[in-house]
Structure 1
């Protein structure tokens, strides 16, 4: 907000890896970096490639340590605390110099899932368009505006996350209030209870964790035979049944059961939840709708179109779609012949004439029965929310757009008959098995996560092999219960290595895959249970919590070889090892 007040351009960088992200920036004379003391060494490392960088502001200390002063001084950097900067601003105020709407507002660096991060140039016009589109969609039809001066937002997503940037822009425009979490996601529940936000902007991973804890607590009460457990189970069943008829509220169960859970979670005055960045399961989405009796909105977009392009309506209780396009952008689907995805079906007549009609049914992507659709293809964007280009990367910018100015997302979607967009596949993360079948691993991972034993997964295959293998991070509590039922004991590491446990988890994954209508070649034939979560810290997730497949492949290369040996997938009588 302050940078906009005097027409400064912000460049947001993820805290890992700091040297890489900073080295991609071209600093103007007198440029400033705001950071915490833990990043000082990394900033000093890139000073040689950024000679115009002069100032560093640390925001986590009041008194500067002499070691930090010496470190910055030797690199030719002036070190400030945030308080010192505030005092200088008080003594030397600058008049407001408001930017033009066409001016650059910030560089939003991508998380670098498939390569080096790219600087997405976001203008003030982009932000205004996206904020207007979001407010238009989220403002309730009954007149109760979602964003007001009384609105309270808990900020815990990284600031380089485009979703967090847009939500804060909307909050500031509505004169709402923003609270910041303690910096530890393990204490996020404490922050929620303390702040009691009026809305909650989050990602599915956190909602999954909350869901598991609530269901596990309710299930424990139920298995004990108590009245509380019976009441919880009855309340959930009744409200889920009512939800299918379009009803979220229940006077009795909301008062006796769900209001108490809301208070414990700090969500007792939450009017709506906005989730995005990754798919959310139908079970989790429906549960939060009956738990909060409020709007649960799912959105879709990417940094290049300022974060949000579609949002579900406030009264939408369907699952599996990301809603309709916002008023601030256009969306179209484009055929992807190499994946067999077409917008139209060709109808030939008399060998010389050809006409087309929209694809009207789709029986792929986990739906056993054909579902009515209005075409299937790659999702493309156009409009005032679409970025102007990548920072100092004209070749990458040209690759992102087609000749008609449409931004290609790399995601595959279908239109439902009522105009909702359904994400069904990913164009970029595909590979071909040795028998010629194309595989989209993200699709399979989204299906098998329905297994109670799967916390995270990495499905792997390549063109030298005919089957898939998987690295599974199990849900520890569920794995322990499974082990108890098999009379197996030990630590989490011991359970992950025990053949009986691995076999039982694999059988459940295969069963879930069949239920989700995975084809035979999409079945994971061998698995390894890995006791450690994929995280940003161990470089297996990007800062936006997407799996870094190349890094995962390198880390688990030996285990992947062993899994192919176990699966008996041989090429010319032997297993082709990773790297051969």
Structure 2
């Protein structure tokens, strides 16, 4: 043991020397041959400017100063026309690929939970022409079952090829498509179905049996259920009058000569294409009305602004089939990462990337040698030695052909973004958009390796910063204008379904007829026209002594602590300090408990008062390192043994915190931490 300790500094010095010599020898050839100078010049260029010429004005991309872009091809202004255009030009090209399920097994986690592990094989592809015919028949079949144009139809299903086929059928026949996250609670699902007055719903066998059957009595207008699988041999007890079909049977009905293309009413650009129920962080979900022209604007942006654009996962699900032909990429709109060698682009929510970074930090902290290697690695982006040797196995986790990683759902920390950049030897971009803006807002440039920013406005979007006096953010701030982010353009959606009050609060039309959405996020523009998200308006709480605390800011800083898997900061305006609910990293906390001589089950460790104190000390140190103000640092915490997942109802599908639900869930702990109990 003594010999190993003596050898460690020597090995460390040898490693540093090798890296230094290698860098000196290879830098000049690499700089001249890799195009680094061109990329650097491209990264530094001005990407957006103020329309008025004043830093306090609204910003547009440099190539859309005169007019925002809304169409890709003249006359191709609805989603059915987009798909028909693709079918005409690329009839035999691959459109939808489904990977074969080879096997699945239950994987027991240390906490006793059982996760389903699937082994996937090669893709089986449908061409554009095949997909078009399947969609056409399905739409005709729905019409034969009584679905009327301009009447809403719901889809409550996991992402799969049938999802896209059903969506295209609805676009083709002008059936506004109501989308519901498969993880929404029963009351939220029933609310969406009743509010939109649907009579037909497309779902899967599993969701019908596990989720829908419990609420069917609460949805009296529902008459037809279409399952994407084979029709179940045994159906749950259904209310009288509800009929169950499967997709194949509906397509067979639609293929009959008397039904094909009957009752088709083509949409116009202003017609509603989708009513998307968001898994909102507060209250019941709101249905966002998205027109054909809104989505067309988003599609156009992704092909004219940059090689890649980033949208929310739910929007990508509808757009990806329209994009993939032009981009020649294989999109995966799931947060599970696979090893397909064909994957060249990957979209992931921020939480998964942060988790990967924290695991790496935890591993690297084992010994001084590992810590030093980790620190050197984080400075070695695009180093051939590391890309070819050290990170080859890391890249193979995503197939080995990854050209770009895209992050969305929440701001990605600078440290995580840099680390992912290096380990996967490809650009890691960020984008910014909301369901209310059709997922479009900004996108980072592939040549820009700066961190912590979400890029410049897309060519369909104009962004303005509105003064927020209470938070101390002004569009006249120096050196960078700051304020609430307002997004305007043809991608701004039609508003919330049957919710005029929220529409008046969040949307407005300016004197030029342009529609705007008030995001509630706080941003600042840098000199090159790139936006950085710095705060959240709705997360601001005024403490008893008058200090304003941004809960999102506190959480963003503390999430970088390896001991924390997730955290929710909370503050009561009648109190003088912040508290927090923490989902700790099980391996880290268990090791800490062993050091302190505390034993027991995972729940007992989390509930131990001494462990709360120890974790609070570590969190306090992390907060000080992250330069939080004294009043922003949590004074008391509650450790949660149960992780927060969409199934628990405490986070959204994008793993954003549901503060109202978290407050209710931890109400007793809130009272205890504030002295009530």
- Same fold per superposition (TM over 0.5): yes
500-509 or 523-532: bigger deviation: 500-509
In the alignment, which of 386, 389, 392 is matched to residue 259 of structure 1? Answer: 392
Q: C-alpha separation between the residues in 2 aligned to 1:551 and 1:523?
A: 22
How many Å apart are 1:401 and its aligned residue? 2.1
Cα pair 2:331 2:345 within 8 Å, conserved: no
TM-aligned CA distance change 1:103 to 1:241, over 3 Å = same
In the alignment, which of 260, 277, 280 is matched to residue 94 of structure 1? Answer: 260
In the alignment, which of 232, 236, 250 is matched to residue 64 of structure 1? Answer: 232
| Alignment-derived partner of residue 34 in structure 1 | 203
| Alignment-derived partner of residue 593 in structure 2 | 483
Q: C-alpha separation between the residues in 2 aligned to 1:240 and 1:66?
A: 56
How many Å apart are 1:257 and its aligned residue? 1.0
Matched, 1:136 2:304: yes
Cα pair 2:340 2:399 within 8 Å, conserved: no
Matched, 1:7 2:177: no
In the alignment, which of 474, 480, 494 is matched to residue 604 of structure 2? Answer: 494
In the alignment, which of 400, 405, 411 is matched to residue 273 of structure 1? Answer: 405
TM-aligned CA distance change 1:505 to 1:310, over 3 Å = same
Cα pair 1:127 1:306 within 8 Å, conserved: yes
Matched, 1:208 2:340: no
How many Å apart are 1:468 and its aligned residue? 1.0
Q: C-alpha separation between the residues in 2 aligned to 1:288 and 1:88?
A: 50
| Alignment-derived partner of residue 61 in structure 2 | none
Q: C-alpha separation between the residues in 2 aligned to 1:138 and 1:477?
A: 41
Say which SS state the counterpart of residue 415 (structure 2) adopts.
helix
Q: C-alpha separation between the residues in 1 aligned to 2:588 and 2:304?
A: 42
- Gaps of at least 5 residues in structure 1 are 140-145, 148-152, 243-247, 345-358, 361-371, 566-574
| Alignment-derived partner of residue 526 in structure 1 | 636
TM-aligned CA distance change 1:45 to 1:528, over 3 Å = closer
192-201 or 311-320: bigger deviation: 192-201
Q: C-alpha separation between the residues in 2 aligned to 1:89 and 1:206?
A: 42
Cα pair 1:305 1:381 within 8 Å, conserved: yes
Query: After superposition, what is the alpha-carbon deviation per residue over 1:212-259, rounded to whole angstroms, capped at 9, x for unaligned?
Result: 445555666x67x8xxx69xx64x5445324xxxxx321222111111
| Alignment-derived partner of residue 399 in structure 1 | 505
| Alignment-derived partner of residue 383 in structure 2 | 250
Say which SS state the counterpart of residue 337 (structure 1) adopts.
coil
Cα pair 1:137 1:313 within 8 Å, conserved: no
Q: Alignment length, in residue pairs?
A: 501
In the alignment, which of 237, 241, 247 is matched to residue 379 of structure 2? Answer: 241
| Alignment-derived partner of residue 442 in structure 1 | 552
Matches within 5 A, 1:4-403: 4-15=171-182, 16-25=184-193, 26=195, 31-40=200-209, 43=212, 51-60=220-229, 62-68=230-236, 71-72=237-238, 74-91=239-256, 94-95=260-261, 98-139=266-307, 161-171=314-324, 174=327, 177=330, 188-189=336-337, 192-194=338-340, 196-216=342-362, 234=373, 236-242=374-380, 248-263=381-396, 265-344=397-476, 359-360=477-478, 372-373=479-480, 375-402=481-508
TM-aligned CA distance change 1:89 to 1:252, over 3 Å = same
TM-aligned CA distance change 1:87 to 1:212, over 3 Å = farther
Say which SS state the counterpart of residue 99 (structure 1) adopts.
coil
Say which SS state the counterpart of residue 206 (structure 1) adopts.
helix
| Alignment-derived partner of residue 150 in structure 1 | none
Cα pair 1:19 1:43 within 8 Å, conserved: no
TM-aligned CA distance change 1:539 to 1:180, over 3 Å = closer
How many Å apart are 1:291 and its aligned residue? 1.4
How many Å apart are 1:193 and its aligned residue? 1.5
TM-aligned CA distance change 1:113 to 1:172, over 3 Å = farther
Q: C-alpha separation between the residues in 1 aligned to 2:332 and 2:253?
A: 26
Say which SS state the counterpart of residue 392 (structure 2) adopts.
helix
Considering Cα pairs closer than 8 Å and 6+ residues apart, tell me whether 1 or 2 has the greater RCO.
2
Matches within 5 A, 1:524-563: 524-563=634-673
What's the TM-score once normalised by structure 2's chain length?
0.68
